[in-house]
Amino acid sequence: MLHDAIIEGMDKEKAEISAITNNTDAPNFDNTIVALTQSGGMLERATTTMYNLLSAETNDELDELANEMAQKLSDHENDIMLNEQLFTRVKKVYDNERDQLDGEDRKLLDKTYEAFERSGATLNDTQKATFRNITRELSEYTLKFSQNLLKETNNFVLHIKDEKDLGGLPDINKEAARFEAQSRKMEGWVFTLHAPSYGPFMMYANKRNLREQMYMAYNTRCTHDNAYNNFKIVEHIVNLRREVAQLLGYKNYADYALRRRMAQNAENVYELLDDLINSYLPKAKEEVAQVAQKAKELEGDDFVMQPWDFSYYSQKLKHELYDYDPDMLRPYLELSHVQKGVLALATKLYGITFKENKHIPVYHPDVIAYDVFDKDEAFLATLLVDFFPRKSKKGGAWMTNYRDEHCDLPCNQQVTANNSYRPVVSVTTNFTKPTNDTPALLTLNELETFLHEFGHALHGIFAMTHYAALSGTSVFWDFVELPSQFMENYATEPDFLGTFAFHYKTGEPLPQSYIERIRKSRNFLAAYSCMRQVSFGLLDMAYYTQTSATSEDIKSFEHDAWHRVQLLPQVPSACMSVQFSHIMAGGYAAGYYSYKWAEVLDADAFFMFKEKGIFDKDTANSFRTNILSKGGTEDPMTLYTNFRGQEPTIDALLHRDGIK
């Protein structure tokens, strides 16, 4: 059925494109640019469904469909973007009407013209043929990368039969492992490489050899001599992206990608990364030395800390310094309460409401669907939430759209929620699952993850633009993380926690003493965490600033790229590149720095809320009006300064992290 919908969607879009190119009227904004942006609706719905399910609820049949369609969809996209008649019309509109347009119309025209340029429309016939071959290969390799990683993740389990091997693990994690074993019809306890299982094991398990086993299994995924090895795939992806960029006249892929980013060029990215290194690295070294010293105190002076020890001993140090243990919060962060609290935060800030709708068909029983209404009761969006890990779901957390907001009104008319096609937005995570005896109890990190993805969702929900191409999260990649990271700030605010953090058995509110411990310990390892993110950014930029084919051993390349900020011993057989979905199969190639870039923005933005009040409705309305609802209709720095009244500085981030 999905196969037929994709094929029919491609046929329909071909007809729609032909109608544009065969139009005998002179090209203008409406009959060419608007007509183009309104084409392909059926295909977009079908492929969006396929790719979203490929991440959230895949199976062998869907994997095969995606593999079959990768080349066909790449060819179809190239047939449109390399269509000379179509580009001739677009160029005429760009040359003749651009100076007469403003607002969203001009933004759409600029984005459309740039998209053709960046997709090879200005190349000669020989170059276009090369472009087609490269993009076809790239679509196949990126898909294969993701499929390999999911299968390799699912292939490993740590099966424990002796309860003595569970020493140090909290009861809730042991119960979850027993539940996992039972679901697999196995005795004892089962731990997996999915985050809710892997993370606590590395933090609490006393058996060092088992921590090492888990660490090695996780960090050597897709490095083994089997069908899921990604070494050559990484090499192909990086080289193909460089070839595309150079074919289009750019020095390297980073120059190509950063043209559509706030950072604009690699020099500005490195300036940010260098500023962070200079500000955070000395403190990060001190933090790691403190953890290493704690390990020696407990194990003896001859003990040499390895990467599989860091989470374990840092947690012991954190407990000693702040009397803080992440698991002490779990009983107060029961998922249904957290869910109500997060949705209520949006109500408090923006006046919107959420009503569960059980009549909406969903792709898995875990998924909950909500209708979202504005403060005037106008329908805003549909929100889907999908919380728990399963074999058919990739790791991590993400927000996506099943449908973008757009409006068919002429652009001189006011857009409202009642006269536009409203979005269908999904928040997908891999939270700790409930068991037979215990509901889903979250960690503080999982609460932050929920808030992060919900921030992305609000960006989609509040979209109020005329064109889907400029709607919601369709913004520069280093701006898209602002709404999400902004929401994370609420996770440690007492006035927010007090609205939902009640003990799941007794109803007792989260003790004030716990909140104080959270706040005091918030900056524990902040510098180390920053350097870890910076290391990923350095690796990303190292790959995509290359001007010639990469042929160096991937592991050696990786170690060279981030060596100046690596704070723990490097394990020779470990390799992140073959698992780094963000920059290999996601949208973050030459863009991983975006998290830190947006962190500067979110710290600066939340500083204003702290000054005015974290629930201040006027400030929230300004954030919604100037940022959340505008999508990509204006330059992101313009949107930000319209909200904040000034450009951001790194000062708020340094202050929040306790560096300054």
Give per-residue pLDDT as tens, 283-320.
999 999 999 999 999 999 999 999 999 999 999 999 99
Q: What is the pLDDT of residue 1?
A: 83
Max Cα–Cα distance, the chain, nearest Å: 84
Residue written as tokens 């969903």?
362
pTM: 0.91
Q: What is the pLDDT of residue 277?
A: 98
Rg (CA), the chain: 25
Q: What is the pLDDT of residue 408?
A: 54
Give per-residue pLDDT as tens, 83-131.
999 999 999 999 999 999 999 999 999 999 999 999 999 999 999 999 9
- Predicted confidence band of residue 409 (pLDDT cuts 50, 70, 90): very low
What sign for the dihedral angle of Cα 200, 203, 207, 211? positive
The full set of domains in the chain, from first to last, is 2-122 (1.20.1050.40), 156-219 (no CATH), 331-468 (3.40.390.10)
Q: What is the pLDDT of residue 405?
A: 65
Give per-residue pLDDT as tens, 567-618.
999 999 999 999 999 999 988 999 999 999 999 999 999 999 999 999 999 9
Question: Across residues 265-281, what is the average pLDDT?
Answer: 97
- Predicted confidence band of residue 565 (pLDDT cuts 50, 70, 90): very high
Instruction: Give the helix, strand, coil percentages of the chain, each rounded to 5.
Output: 60, 5, 35
CA distance 409 to 387: 36
Order of strands across the sheet with 368-373? 353-356, 368-373, 379-386, 424-428, 398-403
Give per-residue pLDDT as tens, 43-80.
999 999 999 999 999 999 999 999 999 999 999 999 99
453 is catalytic: yes
Question: Across residues 140-145, what is the average pLDDT?
Answer: 96
Q: What is the mean pLDDT of the chain?
A: 95
CA distance 473 to 461: 10
Determine what percent of the chain is predicted with pLDDT higher than 90: 93
Q: Above 50 in pLDDT, residue 471? A: yes
Do residues 553 and 574 touch, judged by C-beta distance below 8 A?
Answer: no
Q: Which of 229, 236, 15 lies closest to 135, judged by CA? A: 236
Do residues 138 and 244 touch, judged by C-beta distance below 8 A?
Answer: yes
Q: What is the pLDDT of residue 410?
A: 47
Catalytic residue chosen out of the listed positions 453, 481, 488, 558: 453
Q: Above 90 in pLDDT, residue 406? A: no
Do residues 406 and 420 touch, judged by C-beta distance below 8 A?
Answer: yes
Q: Above 60 in pLDDT, residue 414? A: no
Q: What is the pLDDT of residue 584?
A: 98
Q: What is the pLDDT of residue 577?
A: 98
CA distance 386 to 366: 6
DSSP per position, 500-521:
T-B-TTT-PBPPHHHHHHHHHH
Q: What is the pLDDT of residue 413?
A: 46
CA distance 34 to 45: 19
Give per-residue pLDDT as tens, 324-347.
988 899 999 999 999 999 999 999
Q: Above 60 in pLDDT, residue 415? A: no
Q: What is the pLDDT of residue 606?
A: 97
Q: Are strands 424-428 and 379-386 parallel, antiparallel or unpaired?
A: parallel
Q: What is the pLDDT of residue 311?
A: 98
Determine what percent of the chain is predicted with pLDDT higher than 70: 98
Give per-residue pLDDT as tens, 119-141.
999 999 999 999 999 999 999 99
How far is residue 629 CA from its own chain's centroid? Answer: 20
Give per-residue pLDDT as tens, 365-390.
999 999 999 999 999 999 999 999 99
Q: What is the pLDDT of residue 420?
A: 64
